[in-house]
Amino acid sequence: MGAPVGLAIVGEASIWPAAGVSAALIVAGVVVLVAKARGAGAGAPITGPPPARTAFAGREPPFAIMLEHIVDPIILVAGMDEADIGDRRFVFANAAARDLLRIQRPDGPLTTAVRAPEILAAVEGALFAQESRETLYETRGVQERFWRVRVTPLTGAEWGSGGDRLALLTLRDETEVRRSERTRANFLANASHELRTPLASLAGFVETLRGHARDDVDARERFLSIMHAQAERMRRLIDDLTSLSRIELGEHIPPSGRVDMRAAVIDVVDALGPLAAERGVTLSPVLPPSDSAVALGDRDQILQVTQNLVENALKYTPTGKVVTIEVLGDFDFTTATTATAPSGAHLSLLTPEHAAGKRYVALRVRDVGPGIARANLPRLTERFYRVEGQRVLDKPGTGLGLAIVKHIVNRHRGGLTVESAEGVGSVFTAYVPQVQTAADGAVAPAP
Ligand code: ADP
């Protein structure tokens, strides 16, 4: 019975347009495997067209090993008596299925492995109504996972002495897709919320100015200045959102330019000088000689990282105090992950892959602001995250600055760390791969 069953099922597999060729392969493989297990392979009569085997020169592919190694869980279920729902058994489960469903025996009652009613109902439909069905399955545990389960009848296939019917279950892991859908939905909800607040305030003031404040010159001036601040806030939000999406779009392409970090810091310190003076805060750069800390990077993006970190430090530093901006060449991963001071908490917000042995250029911004509580550190690079209850001098931030920094540094294949102690201050360190220059006695870019 084995060979004819196999042929019939390969034909059936075309009912899965999405799964395509791999589905046909799986079905053919499972059936050959089952047929072999029953010793019904070689001598069985063949009906229907011969299988396409030219590529294997008459030899059968190693279906059993192939199925065992397919990353999607695959289970073959047999059932005979429609009225007796206890007779459904799994007769094959590949390694992924055994691992997921903690299957220890080669066969057993289906309900010992799967208890989800939708899957059991789909199995009934496949075995006794020849229906193919898709359903979703959620597994809990340390990490929640979402699976798309397809249940397909193996039409014409019978198995076992009593002529069991067969159904094939394949599970596809859709956790990542679900997670990114959720992230996108959350992001849209947060972005709309952030924009709605200043918009509502603007609309309210427009109404007031058209109504009872129409002839009140003082009130009008006051309201117009608040409206201006709200419009500015919306502009900052839109600018940051646009930058973030542009950075994300190009994040998979590493930059190839050369950026002298010393020059970048000088430019940012010059640009932020007036703001620092207005706040009574001193910006103190600590820089290496020219050309000794050249990063493999995109100049505009490196300037943006520097500006965001220095602006944050400025925002939270009290009048009369100093923000230190240090550039360090020949920086390595071990130094990056080592705290600079004994007190406080230290966390890597982004860690580059394959960092061991590589040389980096680091930008380290140190402030003596309020610091950030240990529990809040992991959330700093989340979009729209702002530490609650923090006193901000004038403009409230968008909560996107550090997310932008993280995505830029990630594009540069670099890292980002934070060290902070409440009441003492914070140190942010962004590091990106260094270009070796003639000054180092080498000319090739870092790998
Ligand atoms: P924002 O535009 O609000 O500054 P960021 O993403 O740059 O957004 O920062 C997120 C939050 O992290 C800030 O709202 C603030 O609560 C906190 N934060 C960032 N930098 C510092 C700092 N140097 N000192 C204290 N808190 C900081």
- 255-447, CATH topology level: Heat Shock Protein 90 (3.30.565)
The full set of domain ranges for the chain reads 1-68, 70-173, 175-253, 255-447
Dist CA 362 CA 429 (whole Å): 6
What CATH number is given for 175-253 in this structure? 1.10.287.130
Q: What element of type H or E holds 2?
A: helix 2-12
Note whether 73 and 171 are within 8 A (CB).
yes
Ligand 1 centroid to Cα of residue 431, in Å, is 19
Neighbours of 203 (CB within 10 A): 12
Ligand 1 pocket, residue 344 CB under 6 Å: no
Structurally, at CATH architecture level, domain 70-173 sits in 2-Layer Sandwich (3.30)
Ligand 1 pocket, residue 380 CB under 6 Å: yes
pLDDT reported for residue 439: 55
Ligand 1 centroid to Cα of residue 351, in Å, is 20
Residue identifier of the C-alpha nearest atom 7 of ligand 1:
401
**What 3 state SS string does 312-344 have?**
HHHHHCCCCCEEEEEEEEEECHHHHCCCCCCCC
Dist CA 185 CA 177 (whole Å): 12
Q: What is the pLDDT along the chain (447 residues), one digit of tens a residue?
A: 333 332 222 323 332 333 333 444 555 555 555 555 444 433 344 455 555 555 566 778 888 889 999 999 999 999 988 888 788 999 899 999 999 988 888 788 999 888 899 999 999 999 999 999 999 998 877 778 999 999 999 877 666 667 789 999 999 999 999 988 988 898 899 999 999 989 999 999 999 999 988 888 898 999 999 999 999 999 999 999 999 999 999 999 999 999 999 999 999 999 999 999 999 999 999 999 988 999 999 999 999 999 999 999 999 999 999 999 999 999 988 887 788 887 889 999 999 988 888 999 999 999 999 999 999 999 999 999 999 877 665 667 889 999 999 999 999 999 999 999 999 999 999 999 999 766 554 444 444
Dist CA 163 CA 32 (whole Å): 17
In what side-by-side order are the strands of the sheet with 145-159? 108-109, 89-93, 74-79, 164-173, 145-159, 133-139
**61: exposed, middle or buried (Cβ count in 10 Å: 0-12, 13-18, 19+):** middle
Tokens representing residue 1 in the block: 């019975």
Ligand 1 centroid to Cα of residue 201, in Å, is 24
Task: Say what the pTM is.
Answer: 0.70
Largest CA distance in the chain: 101
Tokens representing residue 248 in the block: 């994300």
Ligand 1 pocket, residue 376 CB under 6 Å: no
pLDDT reported for residue 258: 96
Ligand 1 pocket, residue 37 CB under 6 Å: no
Encode 295-312: b = buried (16+ Cβ within 10 Å), e = exposed. Answer: bbbbbebbbbbbbbbbbb
Dist CA 21 CA 373 (whole Å): 54
**151: exposed, middle or buried (Cβ count in 10 Å: 0-12, 13-18, 19+):** buried
Dist CA 354 CA 362 (whole Å): 17
